[in-house]
Structure 1
Amino acid sequence: MPIHLMNAAYPVLTDLLSELPIPPTGPYPEDVDAVVPLRTGIGEGILILRLTRRDFAALIATGGLAALLPASLAIPAAAETGPAGRFRATLAAHQAGHHLMAPNQHITTLVETLRDIDAILDTADPATQTKLRLVKAEFAEHISWLHRERGDLTLCRRWSERATSWAIAGGDTAMAAYMVLRNASVALDAGDHQGANNLAERARTLWTIPPALDAVAHLYQARSSAATGIIDTARLDAADELFAQPTSPDEPAYLRFYGPGWADLQRATCYMVGGQPANAITILNARLTRLPTTHHRDRALHLARIGSAHAATNTPDAAALAEAHRAGSQHVVAELHPLHTLLTQRWPNQPKVREFAEAFTAA
């Protein structure tokens, strides 16, 4: 039965946004008018939202998402009141709906919202000022990630530094450590394994951090070790144990992206970099079958690394790479560049390799 739309909690909204499918051409459509239905059960009834992807994009950009869902869908949540809560709600919608707009569109809106925060920061009471500085750090963290998605590592690092500075000013050392680990991840992607190891060690020893962040640091150090041909199983196992620890209800929201599945991806990367690609393929294939269909970027990363592992075993899987390339993430595309060169050099006449090469060069 139809339900009238009223206010709802943002956790419900962000869940629905995350479920919104993407077109086969990629997750960052600039101009899509197709109507996409969203269905969710409400007791004995069904809520159906029929909005174009552009409508969702506009609602995210203007912060008007809170009026979409019925209050009967609201779930218990530690809803934050005041300016900090309002700005965090806007950020949550951008994070959950990141695939609805190109990164640049999100960045423009988020930077404008940061100006809105600054406009009230100086005249706010001291407690609110502290909260707003922490919100600014969270905005800067997501902007940093978006710049990484669009392939601009310089701006990724610059916004990471801003997030670190604002987090420290607000007393959030966990966020500061998280941004140090963001830079460690960028260093790993750039091939600076010793620099990544140093940054991960700094994050682990400079502050007291949540177990999940400690696990991330261990995994980045394990990847640094793998680059020297050594699989550091002790660090990999330590990370698994840390992720198995109970989580705190007041843990930072960004930590929800890290867990056993993400650890498996890092373990597989270690095997691949450390010269044991067959082990990586086994892990990645197992994880891929358990990924929700809506996790497009994670699926693309898995497929890209499966393709790398197959190439290392001299059994190219260009079909997987073609699917990964369609995800549109510049982070994924950057991983595919060396593979494109390797495949076209070794297997130029394989039909799937030619198909992948044509799609890659045309993009």
Structure 2
Amino acid sequence: MEQWRPFGDELRKLRGHESLRSLARRIGYNAGDLSRFERGIRKPPADIVRLLDRELSASGRLIEIAAVAMFDLDNGGVDGHDESCRDDPYENGEGEFMPISRRSFIAAVGMEAAIGTSFNSRIALNRNSSVDYLDHFRQLKRVLVDQDSLLGPTTVIPIVQQQIQVIGQLRRLNGTDTTGLLEMQTSYAEFAGWLHQDSGDFTAAEYWTDRAFQWSMASGDDAMSSYILNRKAHLSGDEGDGGETVALAAAAIRTAPGDTPIAALANMRAAHGHALLGDHNATENAYNMALESVDSPDMDPDLPWAGWFDHSYINVHRARSLSALGDYRTAAEQFTHVLDTLPPHYARDRSVYLVRAAMAHVGNDDVEHAASLGMEAISAGSGSGSGRLAKELELLDRAFNPWQSQAAVVEFRDARRELLV
């Protein structure tokens, strides 16, 4: 049962100071069996894994670890760290067989178990040759983007993932535009990746972004493939991995078509990666290149991404990178300037940026101003369902520890607790 030890270790860590008896009462289960799960000497039932994951707010980690253990058990104890294993299962989620990495397979198992559906389930389709399915999915996505903006990612994620499955089924029907549907499936998968990233579930975000990249390559959409490399760099940057961020951004720059803003976006992602690595000169050079590229006269203003990618977007990320480099004074000044220039459609992102600005002010020992920005972020982001915002607020809360008795900090912490209820 050695393969269940990581599950037990994670369960023990998530339980924290809560006693086994208390947890057992909370989930209506036997404390002795929970103890055996923690010691890695008994395999937990799938329904208990899902229950523990939900009750301990594990965001799928327990489900994924259990999936790893089951995979290793079923495959004779294969080492769980071999990403290049050639014996990976071949399953793309809709019955077609395409190679995916072992990590992607495990993530897929975990996510599907978490939402209680199956990759092999089928949705009844009322095939109508007169229907323009591509136009239908385009219109639906616009509605889902609006719903995400209004109600948050958790209201949209199940619908988006179901549509990915529906599109996959349509691709197998005779007479459909299989290439167009594959491109549409790519678009929905990229959107799913972003929704999960915004909700704070990086495991699911990585899975769907990887699927989007795979499908973009299969459809031959070079611009989309390059853009998704940027998305992967963005995700790595949010996870704090500077080296991976720089590498993915470099790949996006190499593959970016010349008439798109993708190279400029990639330079911006690379800049933050350099900041995470502590390289001030490389950070500044990359941001300057991004600002120069976005003003290129060859840029097509009608392309996707061109509408929202501008100087204000670059500069608000530049301010974040300055904080990462420890230049809090310049970061705070830049945040102050750029937050007032953001377009209205950045409403949810603005709440995240407000917290990052607050962190810069904490670095400057301007605690009262930082707390006021935190309060503004809570007010602006209340009800957004953004896991990114929740995580940023948690970091700000920790940063306030040396000033926990100050009235402004107490007020911020009270407001944050109310937000979590």
Q: Same fold (TM over 0.5)?
A: yes
- Alpha-carbon separation, structure 2, partners of 1:160 and 1:209: 23
Q: Is the 8 A contact 2:256 2:262 kept in 1?
A: no
Q: Select 2:164's aligned residue among 75, 96, 114.
A: 114
| 1:27-81 residue CA offsets vs partner (Å, 9 max, x unmatched) | xxxxxxxxxxxxxxxxxxxxxxxxxxxxxxxxxxxxxxxxxxxxxxxxxxxxxx9
Q: Which moved more, 1:293-302 or 1:173-182?
A: 293-302
| 1:271-304 residue CA offsets vs partner (Å, 9 max, x unmatched) | 2112222212222212222234453212212211
* Larger RCO, structure (CA 8 Å, separation 6 or more): 1
Q: Which has the higher strand share?
A: 1
Q: Which moved more, 1:133-142 or 1:81-90?
A: 81-90
Q: CA deviation at 1:355?
A: 1.4
Q: Is the 8 A contact 2:259 2:300 kept in 1?
A: no
- Alpha-carbon separation, structure 2, partners of 1:295 and 1:223: 20
Greater Rg by CA: 2
1:351 aligns with 2:386: no
Q: CA deviation at 1:254?
A: 3.8
Q: Which moved more, 1:190-199 or 1:270-279?
A: 270-279
1:98 aligns with 2:155: no
- Alpha-carbon separation, structure 2, partners of 1:197 and 1:226: 10
- Alpha-carbon separation, structure 2, partners of 1:89 and 1:109: 14
Partner of 2:417: 361
Q: CA deviation at 1:159?
A: 0.4
Q: Select 2:289's aligned residue among 238, 241, 263.
A: 238
Q: Is the 8 A contact 1:278 1:309 kept in 2?
A: yes
- Alpha-carbon separation, structure 1, partners of 2:250 and 2:411: 43
- Alpha-carbon separation, structure 2, partners of 1:125 and 1:255: 34
Partner of 2:373: 320
Within a 5 Å distance, the mapping from 1:19-168 to structure 2 comes to 82-125=132-175, 128-168=177-217
3-state SS of paired residue (1:295):
helix
Q: Is the 8 A contact 2:261 2:305 kept in 1?
A: no
Within a 5 Å distance, the mapping from 1:220-239 to structure 2 comes to 220-227=269-276, 228-231=278-281, 232-239=283-290
Quickly say closer, same or farther: Cα 1:236–1:292, change in 2 above 3 A.
closer
Q: Is the 8 A contact 1:325 1:333 kept in 2?
A: no
Aligned Cα root-mean-square deviation (Å): 2.1
Q: Select 2:222's aligned residue among 173, 180, 186.
A: 173
| 1:189-238 residue CA offsets vs partner (Å, 9 max, x unmatched) | 22211111111111212454654111121112211222314143222111
Q: Is the 8 A contact 2:263 2:290 kept in 1?
A: yes
Partner of 1:278: 329
Q: CA deviation at 1:143?
A: 0.9
Q: Is the 8 A contact 2:301 2:307 kept in 1?
A: no
Q: Is the 8 A contact 1:133 1:166 kept in 2?
A: yes
Quickly say closer, same or farther: Cα 1:205–1:170, change in 2 above 3 A.
same
- Alpha-carbon separation, structure 2, partners of 1:239 and 1:211: 12
Q: Is the 8 A contact 2:316 2:335 kept in 1?
A: yes
- Alpha-carbon separation, structure 1, partners of 2:364 and 2:279: 16
Q: Is the 8 A contact 2:233 2:269 kept in 1?
A: yes
Within a 5 Å distance, the mapping from 1:259-338 to structure 2 comes to 259-293=310-344, 295-316=346-367, 317-326=370-379, 327=381, 328=384, 329-338=386-395
Q: Is the 8 A contact 1:271 1:279 kept in 2?
A: yes
- Alpha-carbon separation, structure 1, partners of 2:179 and 2:301: 21
Please give the TM-score of this superposition, normalised by the length of structure 1. Answer: 0.72
Identity %: 25
3-state SS of paired residue (1:257):
coil
Letter in 1 for 2:267: H
Partner of 1:248: 300
Partner of 2:73: none
Q: CA deviation at 1:347?
A: 0.9
Quickly say closer, same or farther: Cα 1:209–1:139, change in 2 above 3 A.
farther
Q: Is the 8 A contact 1:211 1:245 kept in 2?
A: no
Partner of 1:60: none
Q: CA deviation at 1:111?
A: 2.1
Unaligned runs of 5+ in 1: 1-80
Unaligned runs of 5+ in 2: 1-130
